[in-house]
């Protein structure tokens, strides 16, 4: 009888332990697939060019339209493409606009930009706000900055290179 009792206790305890392990494993699996928003560094280097249009459809205080494109490598997006449209004040060097970064897999990051350039030195800086995207970047938020240099290639064009350092949450 003692032996039968001992076997029954061992079986009940083993079943209870199995139940606890299975439940805990399910909870861990559920947590590992959660869609918690995580802040991540987003750093990239870019080489591209811009074309400038005047007159343009931009407002009178920023009458110069700049369309910039680039290719680059960035964390989180791999080999990527950068496309932006700015309206600029050529006297103050301030531009405002929007941009899209397209990842190697086609997912996009959408940004608003405030850009400052020096026509004398060719240096530029840019403040960026991440306002969403597509694919895994849908609903993304964040901010950061870029800086670099540009070299005129004609009256209404340039080549440029730069680096961005942002934090993105998605």
Q: Give 76-120 pLDDT, tens digit per residue.
A: 999 999 999 999 999 999 999 999 999 999 999 999 999 999 988
CATH of the domain at 80: 2.40.350
Could you give the percent of the chain with pLDDT greater than 90?
Answer: 78
Task: Please give the structure tokens belonging to residue 152.
Answer: 């005129």
H helix or E strand, kind and range, residue 31: helix 2-32
Same domain, 2 and 71: no
Structurally, the chain folds into a number of domains equal to: 2
Same domain, 91 and 7: no
Q: Kindly tell me if the per-residue pLDDT of 36 is higher than 60.
A: yes
Average pLDDT over residues 132-158: 97
* 160 closest CA partner among 49, 40, 53: 49
Same domain, 30 and 108: no
pLDDT at 130 (0 to 100): 98
Same domain, 22 and 53: no
For residue 128, the enclosing domain spans 39-169
**Averaged confidence pLDDT in the chain:** 86
Same domain, 63 and 135: yes
Average pLDDT over residues 23-28: 41
Same domain, 155 and 89: yes
DSSP 132: E
pLDDT at 89 (0 to 100): 96
Burial class of residue 120 in the structure, from the number of CB atoms within 10 Å of its CB (0-12 exposed, 13-18 middle, 19+ buried): exposed
């Amino acid at each position: 009888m003692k032996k039968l009792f001992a076997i029954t206790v061992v079986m009940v305890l083993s079943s209870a332990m199995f139940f606890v392990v299975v439940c805990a494993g399910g909870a861990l699996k559920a947590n590992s697939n959660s869609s918690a928003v995580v802040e991540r560094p987003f750093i990239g280097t870019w080489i591209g060019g811009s074309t400038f249009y005047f007159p343009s459809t931009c407002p009178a205080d920023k009458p110069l339209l700049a369309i910039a494109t680039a290719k680059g490598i960035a964390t989180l997006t791999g080999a990527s493409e950068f496309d932006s449209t700015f309206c600029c004040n050529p006297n103050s060097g301030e531009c405002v606009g929007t941009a899209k970064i397209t990842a190697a897999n086609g997912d996009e990051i959408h940004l608003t930009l405030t850009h400052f350039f020096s026509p004398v030195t060719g240096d530029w800086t840019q403040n960026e706000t991440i306002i969403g995207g597509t694919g895994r970047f849908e609903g993304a938020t964040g901010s950061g900055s870029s800086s670099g240099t540009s070299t005129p290639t004609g009256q209404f064009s340039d080549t440029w290179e730069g680096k961005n350092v942002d934090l993105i949450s998605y």
